Every structure is written in structure tokens, then in C-alpha cells.
Amino acid sequence: MRIAILGAGAIGGVLAARLATAGHAVAVLARGPHGEALRRGGIALATPQGEIRARVSALASAAALAEPDVVFLCVKAADLPAIAAVLPEAVRRAALIVPVLNGIPFWYRPDTLAAPLRFADPGGRLACLFAGTRLAGGVAHFAAEMTAPGRVRQTSGGRLVLGPVGRGLAGRGPAGATADDCARIVAALNAAGVEAEVTSDIACAMWTKLVGNAAFNPVSALTGATMAQICEDETLLGIIRIVMAEVMTVARHHGVMVPVSIDQRIAMARRIGGSKLSMLQDLERGRPIEADTLLGAVAELGDCAGVATPIVDMLRALVVMRASRNLAGRAA
């Protein structure tokens, strides 16, 4: 299978290494020192079971893609519009496209909304760019981080959930992949050592992950604490519980009952251990944080449903200021 991975950070790196090792032709969008490292020595994935090293084709531009069978979009939400805009038309029309994004994705638009979410798809640009494509939603549960150019460390087994977007765009955007499309990719992932499954309710899978992401990520970014350190602090866990409750209430008002309790979600976090969360990793590397899709879109959906989200709002204001001052300090 010909596979393109746009965004070879932690998640993209795990997928690239596993799929290339399984014999698939993998092309990766990567620039700068990371792209050079991939061209020179391939990608190295450190796992609890040992190191995997695989050769991949490193591309400097999405415009250079040559008719892949599937495209995984593993970039940050802020980078997606620019990359989507230069995807060749033939790729957008023929390939199965799988965005694997944090937070509320651009394709999510329940019947309760009349327009794209400002914080997930400003102006509806992405919905337009992907109109008519075979698009499947992807939700990744991996504890992984980039440790150096060309090197990724995965600290837990991880799982990738795929599913048709169905009525996620209520007929106002991507045509959507079928369950059979998703099943073919899931079979390839499982054969490559990536635990994967197909769901008939990708929106529920997205909200279930978001309950934890919207709570733990900003707290980690503000405190510098790992998941394990947060879980050991009862005061921080009190904040985590309030945020989770706000997110679950918003989800419920948009027709999604998150199938795990707050205590169960925290227990899942404890099992992840001492991993750094993605928002903290972004801060430490001087990259933009995903406050809009993780927090802003939740608040926006809350407003649409008449649900107040005061702690989500507060955390977003704090992490946005923290990130702004961090970037200003690096530029000084």
C-alpha cells in the first residue's frame, strides 16, 4: 500500500515507522533538520520492546505526493489549512484521507450547528478544501514524543480508532469514507503492529479522548507536570474533574454520551505514567499550542447549547497567555 503521512511528529512518526517496517511504501512530509535526518538515516522508533528503524521517503512539500492510497494528516490543527491547500487535486479526489487530530476536528459539525466552528475550521475553509473527498475520522491514543530529528519514543502500546464521519458534516463537506474503507486501513495497521479498530461512532470516540485531553493538556502546560505527577496531586485532580465534567456536559447537549466516567478516565491517565503531554511538548519546543481545538471549540459548542464552561474558558485564557509570553521570550 502507498501511504503518505503529513506531519511526522510523535504520532506520525509512530505510524511511519510501523507501516514502513511492515513493507508499505511510506512517504513523509518533513522539513528542516527532521526531514534531513529522515533522508539520511530513516526514522527510528524507540519502544519498550526495542528500537525500530525504517526507511521512508521524506518530502519537502505536500505538492510532491504521487497518488498515495491513503493520506494520514498528523499535523497540528494550525498547520492543516496551508498543507491542505497544496495537496494535489488528484490526491484529494482519489486517496482515503484520515485526519488524526487533537481536539474538535474540522469535520465535526453535528446537526445542532448551522455553520463551521470558528475555533475548529475558521470560515469553513477546510470543509471546502475536503469537499467530496473520502475522509475518515481518526482518534489516536498514543503516549509518544519526538526526542530528536528522526527519532520518536513511544512509551505505551497505543491505539488508533478510525470511523466514517457519516453525518458529521451533515452533507455540507466531505462525502466521507465507508466502513469498508476504514476496515482496510485498520487491517494494515494491525498487521504492522499498530493496534487499531473501526468504530461506527467516530464522534463519540473523539469526545471520549477530548474529555481527558482538554483537562490534562492545559494543566500540564501551565505546571510543567507529567501525567503521573498531575495524577498524584489531589488539588490538580480537582481541577481535572471539573474540566472533564464541563466537556462531558457539552458533549451530552450535542447528542454524545461519553461512555466512561470521570474516575475511569483518570484511571486511564494513571496507566499512561510519566509521559509529557503534547501541549507541554509544544511549549518546550516553542511551537504554537492547540488551545483553539482543545478548549476554544469546546467553549464555542457550549455557547451554542447554552452551556457555561467557566473553567475551560479560564484554562484557555491562561495557556494562550503562557504560550504568547513563551514565544515572545524566545524571540527576544
Q: Which residues participate in catalysis according to the annotation?
A: 209
Of 202, 181, 185, nearest to 194 by C-alpha is 185
Cell numbers placing 111: 446537526
> Which 3-state string (H, E, C) describes 232-244?
CCHHHHHHHHHHH
Name residue, grid cell 497540528.
Answer: 76
CB 107 within 8 A of CB 138: no
Q: Of 291, 293, 296, nearest to 326 (Cα)?
A: 291
At 57, give phi and psi (nearest 5°). -90, 120
C-alpha pair distances (Å), 292 with each of 169, 176, 214, 247, 265 = 19, 24, 10, 14, 22
In eight-state DSSP terms, residue 221 is H
Cα–Cα distance measured from residue 44 to residue 34, given in angstroms and rounded to the nearest whole number: 12
Check the CA dihedral 152-158-161-162 and report its sign: positive
